[in-house]
Structure 1
Amino acid sequence: MVASQLPMTAKEAFNAVTEFALATIHIVDYDAPDAARPAGMVRLSTPDTEELTAELDGATEYLGVPADEILLAALARTIAKTLGDGTVLVDVASERGSLLDAVPLVCATTQQSDATDVLRGVHHALASATESAADGMSEAYFNYLGEVPDDSVPVPVQETPPGLGHALEMRVYRTADLVHIDWWYDTSHFEPYTVEELAEQFPRALYEMTTDALPAV
C-alpha cells in the first residue's frame, strides 16, 4: 500500500524552508587543494546573446531593481539547481559601492521559493550587508563591472585573471551593447564540469527571474 501524501502544515513548511536556508553550501569540489591538482585560474564564458541582454535590460526596467540584484538572484537559482538548496556566502562588488563581505545568498529551487521570493531575498541581503572584513574569504565572488571599455584598452577585462584569491569569480560586464558573463575558477578547487554546469544553467535561471518575478521587492 502506498502511504497517502498529506499536505504540510504551515509550521512544517516554515521549518522546511528554515532548515534548507540555514544549511551552508560549499560550492567547491575540493576544500583543500593538493599537489596533484595544481592551482591556476581558468576562464569559462556563458555565451553572449542579444536575447540575454534584452531580458536583463527589460527586467531591470519592469521590476524596478538594479541589474546586479537580478543577476545575483539568477546565480542563487543556478547554484540551487546545480549544487543544492542552502545558503552560500558571496563577496559582492558592483556599481553600488565598495566590496560587500560574505553576503548570505539563499539558494532555492522552484519547489522551495518562487522567483519573486528569491529576488526579494537578494534585495534584503544586499541592503543589510556590510563592507567590514569578514572572517576569511568567501569561496565565491560576484563582480559586476557594468560598462567597460572595448578591446582598445591595453589589457581587456575579460583577459585579466582575478587577483583576490577566491575559488570562483563570476564576472559580469557590458561591452558593445552586450552583457558578458565570465566564470573564473581555481582548478585546484573545481572539476571543469562543475563550472560548465553553472555556466550552462545560468541563462535559464536568468530567464526565469526576468519572466516570472514580480515587482514586489
Structure 2
Amino acid sequence: MVAPYLPDEVKHTFVNSAPIALEVFDRAAAPCSGAQRARCTTAPSSELAEEIDGAAEWLGVQPEEILLAALGRTFGRTRGEGAVAVDVRTGRQRQSRPVSLLCAASWPMGPSEMLQGAHNALAAASAHHGAPAEIALTIAPVADDDTAGTAALELRVLRIDGMLHLQWAYDAARLDGYSVEEMAEQFPLALIEITSDAGAPL
C-alpha cells in the first residue's frame, strides 16, 4: 500500500557522498568467451503492478524511478553497497539512458533517499549510443520475446494483462544461478519498501 501520510522525519537530506564502485558479478568477463545466456523468472503479480501505479501517482514520479530505486536496494542487500552503471531502457524504441545507480542495504539510505537517488540519476541522464553498460533495466509496455540481450545482467519488467512480469536475463559465465535467484527474491520486497515508505523526491 502507498502510505497516505509521510511524517517529516522520513524526509532526510539526500546522502551525496562519493560511493565506491560495486562489483555485482561473481566472475569477470573472460577474454574471447561467449555469453552463456540464462534466465530467472518470478511469478506474475497484479499486486506489484498496482503498487507501482499507485506510488507513481501519489509521489508524482515515473515508474522507472521506482523500479530503479528498488534495483539499487536489491543490489545493496545481495551484492553489497556502492555504485554501478546501469542502462535504463524504456518505451518501444528501447531508448537507453546510462545512469550511475547508488546501491545500499539500509539507513542512512532509507526508501526516500533511494528514490531521490534514482530520480536524480534519471534526471541527469541522456540518451546515448556508446558502449552499453553490463547491467540493464528494461521496462517494456507489452510482452517481449527477445532473448538476445547484450547486457551481462538485465532485469526486464513487462506488463501483460495487468500483471507485472519480472525476468532476469544473465550471462551464466559471469553470475551463478543462486546469485540471480537471490536478487529475484529480494526485488519484490525492495519494491514494496519503496512504494510504501518513500517520500516524493525534491
Superposition TM-score tier, normalisation by shorter sequence: 0.7 to 0.9
Provide the rounded CA distance (Å) in 2 between the counterparts of 1:137 and 1:144.
16
- Return 5+ residue gaps in structure 1 as ranges: 1-13, 150-156
TM-score normalised by length of structure 2:
0.85
Task: State the Cα distance separating 1:17 from its structure 2 match.
Answer: 6.6
Q: Is the 8 A contact 1:70 1:206 kept in 2?
A: yes
Task: State the Cα distance separating 1:173 from its structure 2 match.
Answer: 1.2
Choose which of 114, 120, 123 in structure 1 pairs with 2:119.
123
Task: State the Cα distance separating 1:38 from its structure 2 match.
Answer: 6.7
Provide the rounded CA distance (Å) in 2 between the counterparts of 1:216 and 1:57.
16
Name the structure 1 match of 2:140. Answer: 145
Choose which of 175, 199, 202 in structure 2 pairs with 1:214.
199
Q: What's the % identity of the aligned pairs?
A: 38
Provide the rounded CA distance (Å) in 1 between the counterparts of 2:138 and 2:94.
12
Task: State the Cα distance separating 1:32 from its structure 2 match.
Answer: 2.4
Relative distance call for 1:106 and 1:60 in structure 2 (3 A) is: same
Name the structure 2 match of 1:70. Answer: 66
Q: Is the 8 A contact 2:119 2:201 kept in 1?
A: no
Provide the rounded CA distance (Å) in 2 between the counterparts of 1:56 and 1:130.
24
- Secondary structure of the corresponding residue to residue 147 of structure 2: coil
Name the structure 2 match of 1:187. Answer: 172
Name the structure 1 match of 2:88. Answer: 92
Provide the rounded CA distance (Å) in 2 between the counterparts of 1:68 and 1:108.
18
Task: State the Cα distance separating 1:175 from its structure 2 match.
Answer: 0.7
Name the structure 1 match of 2:104. Answer: 108
Provide the rounded CA distance (Å) in 1 between the counterparts of 2:65 and 2:148.
22
Provide the rounded CA distance (Å) in 2 between the counterparts of 1:61 and 1:162.
33
Provide the rounded CA distance (Å) in 1 between the counterparts of 2:165 and 2:94.
21
Choose which of 62, 76, 83 in structure 2 pairs with 1:80.
76
After TM superposition, what 4+ stretches of structure 1 lie above 3 angstroms from structure 2? none
Name the structure 1 match of 2:183. Answer: 198
Two-structure CA RMSD over aligned residues (Å):
2.3
TM-score normalised by length of structure 1:
0.79
Relative distance call for 1:52 and 1:132 in structure 2 (3 A) is: closer
- Secondary structure of the corresponding residue to residue 133 of structure 2: coil
Provide the rounded CA distance (Å) in 2 between the counterparts of 1:17 and 1:93.
25
Once the two structures are superposed, the pairs formed by residues 7-26 of structure 1 within 5 Å of their partners are 18=17, 21-26=18-23
Rg larger for: 1
Provide the rounded CA distance (Å) in 2 between the counterparts of 1:48 and 1:33.
34
Provide the rounded CA distance (Å) in 1 between the counterparts of 2:22 and 2:29.
16
Once the two structures are superposed, the pairs formed by residues 170-185 of structure 1 within 5 Å of their partners are 170-185=155-170
User: How many correspondences in the alignment?
Assistant: 188
- Return 5+ residue gaps in structure 2 as ranges: 1-12
Query: 1:25-77 deviations in whole A, cap 9, x for unaligned?
Result: 12111112379x97321111122222212211111111111111101100000
1:31 aligns with 2:28: yes
Provide the rounded CA distance (Å) in 2 between the counterparts of 1:23 and 1:70.
23
- Secondary structure of the corresponding residue to residue 22 of structure 1: coil
